[in-house]
Structure 1
Amino acid sequence: MSVGIVVVSHSRALAEAAVELANIMVHADAPSIAIAAGLDDGGFGTDATQIMSAIEEVDGGDGVVIFVDMGSAVMSAQTAIELLDSDARILSAPFVEGITAGMVAAATGADLAQVVKLAEGSLNAKAQAVGDDFASESGEGCCGNGGCCAADNSTATSVPVPSSATSVHGSESAACEADVEIINEIGLHARPAGKLAQLVSEYDAVVEISCDGRESVEADSMMDLMALGATFGQTLHVRASGAQKEEALAAVLEFVRSGMGE
């Protein structure tokens, strides 16, 4: 099973388009997802009874998250939860980015807390890209000053890829790390970032990636990977720790060297 996802919107077309876009980024079995959007007569609005049915449809026991567009969508979702006596979570995540991050995370088997964390931190990539100077409340994700996503090709350096990973001993446990150059023309954009996040989730390891010396991000977050702004010819520094660190590092290096599936 996986965390269930409910999408609540005033517009059926908007909800369906957001889910369709998010599905492009899911490279495994899609999580359980239900849409509660629009009124029965085809008009705009939200309906608590629709949302109740959607929650019951996707609740497989691992938790349910609800994405809402605005205004009365929140009130309708709250009413549905109260009537069902459900522990479903209404998220304040941005609608499109949150649904995408949540679906990718749920598809990889992330638990409720991780789905919530990744969805609610999904605005970071856009904030960094446009130069907003703030960090998420949790302090997770990309750096708060825009540094790690300002991909400046003029300062990019070509770092040779070592033939084997280097073992680094920290204060807690050993980690493995290596550098790898991006060879696909578009770089680490949405589709490869989603694939990479899903790949990393398959290993019992924590994988962190930085780009040409910029602050590292956790590689299980598609949105944080996109925030790196890594492009063709730039170098990714990959660091892995945990029980399957060597396997995870090798898998990431192979993925990047092979063109990230493109």
Structure 2
Amino acid sequence: MTVGLVVVSHSRKLAEGSVELAAQMAPDVKFYPVGGTDDDRIGTDLEKAMAAFEAGLEEASGDGLVVLADLGSAVMTAESALEFCSEPDKVLLADAPLVEGLVAAAVAAQGGSSAAEVKLAAESVRFGPEPSDTAEDSQGRGEPIDSGVFELINPMGMHARPAAKIAGGLAGLDVEATVNGVDGTSIMELMSLAVGQGGKVKVEAWGKDSSKAVEYVRRLVEEGFGEL
């Protein structure tokens, strides 16, 4: 089994749509979308969230659950459900953007990461650079500890699935990594590279897991991100 993922949203369609997207990257992961009220209005439902937690805990077989929520009251609903669930120590709430965080978490779970690592993968992604991530700061890190240049062989190049696999894996490592100069843990930034088949990606890494990061991307690229 793998870590299960619960999505708590104000909208049933948003919860189910987010899960539909993430499931494309992680076919072996169990998802539990919770959205809307019993009469299908916008809102959150504590009983639905509690039921999802219990179903996930039963099916996760000890691997645990990671929960993502869309807005403030959904977070409160998830927190309340956690208080009442049978095994609260096996449920982790992630503070992450719903869609991008869910995709990164799904990729990490698909790869066999622990619940803590899946949570970290979700929380590590972001939509754009933080104020400190300027070109000056990037240069201030000095030369990368490890690096590699790899040619994309998958037919569609750097689209959503490869970007999610790279970001999800790198987010779970103790490393700062860039791919063609952008944040390697940001799905959106990786997709913006628009590198096609035959194009090259340059990975540069700093930190304890720098060699693991470069090797991880190399393996993904050489395997065609599982798309060949």
Q: Same fold (TM over 0.5)?
A: yes
Cα distance change, pair 96–147 in 1 and its aligned pair in 2 (3 A): farther
Between Structure 1 and Structure 2, the one with more helix by share is 2
* Match status 1:83 vs 2:100: no
Aligned to 1:57: 55
Q: CA deviation at 1:7?
A: 0.8
One-letter code of the match for 1:191?
Answer: R
After superposition, the C-alpha distances for 1:118-172 in whole angstroms (9 at most, x for unaligned) are 101121xx213xxxx435xxxxxxxx22699xxxxxxxxxxxxxxxxxxxxx8xx
Aligned to 2:124: 121
Aligned to 2:25: 25
Cα distance change, pair 73–230 in 1 and its aligned pair in 2 (3 A): same
Aligned ranges 1:1-262 → 2 under 5 Å: 1-26=1-26, 28-29=27-28, 31-59=29-57, 60=60, 61-84=62-85, 86-87=88-89, 88-123=91-126, 126-128=127-129, 133-134=130-131, 144-145=133-134, 178-182=148-152, 187-195=157-165, 210-212=178-180, 214=181, 217=184, 223=187, 226=190, 229=193, 231-232=195-196, 233-237=199-203, 241=211, 251-252=219-220, 254-255=222-223, 261=227
Residue 39 of structure 1: SS of its match in structure 2?
Answer: coil
One-letter code of the match for 1:76?
Answer: T
CA contact (8 A) 1:238 1:249 kept: no
Q: CA deviation at 1:24?
A: 2.2
Cα distance change, pair 45–206 in 1 and its aligned pair in 2 (3 A): closer
Q: CA deviation at 1:254?
A: 2.4
Residue 89 of structure 1: SS of its match in structure 2?
Answer: strand
Residue 128 of structure 2: SS of its match in structure 1?
Answer: helix
CA contact (8 A) 1:210 1:228 kept: no
Cα distance change, pair 82–105 in 1 and its aligned pair in 2 (3 A): same
Which runs of no fewer than 5 residues in structure 2 stay unpaired?
138-144
Cα distance change, pair 41–82 in 1 and its aligned pair in 2 (3 A): same
Q: CA deviation at 1:91?
A: 1.8
Q: CA deviation at 1:111?
A: 0.7
Measure, in 2, the Cα distance between the counterparts of 1:40 and 1:241.
Answer: 50
Cα distance change, pair 33–252 in 1 and its aligned pair in 2 (3 A): closer
Which runs of no fewer than 5 residues in structure 1 stay unpaired?
136-143, 149-169
Cα distance change, pair 112–225 in 1 and its aligned pair in 2 (3 A): farther
One-letter code of the match for 2:193?
Answer: G
After superposition, the C-alpha distances for 1:159-190 in whole angstroms (9 at most, x for unaligned) are xxxxxxxxxxx8xxxx7x64323466864231
Percent of aligned pairs with the same amino acid: 36
Cα distance change, pair 13–117 in 1 and its aligned pair in 2 (3 A): same
Q: CA deviation at 1:98?
A: 1.2
Q: CA deviation at 1:94?
A: 0.7
CA contact (8 A) 1:8 1:66 kept: yes
Aligned to 1:157: none
Measure, in 2, the Cα distance between the counterparts of 1:190 and 1:234.
Answer: 17
Structure 1 residue runs of 4 or more that deviate by more than 6 Å after TM superposition: 205-209
CA contact (8 A) 1:211 1:234 kept: no
Structure with higher Rg: it is 1
Q: CA deviation at 1:223?
A: 2.9
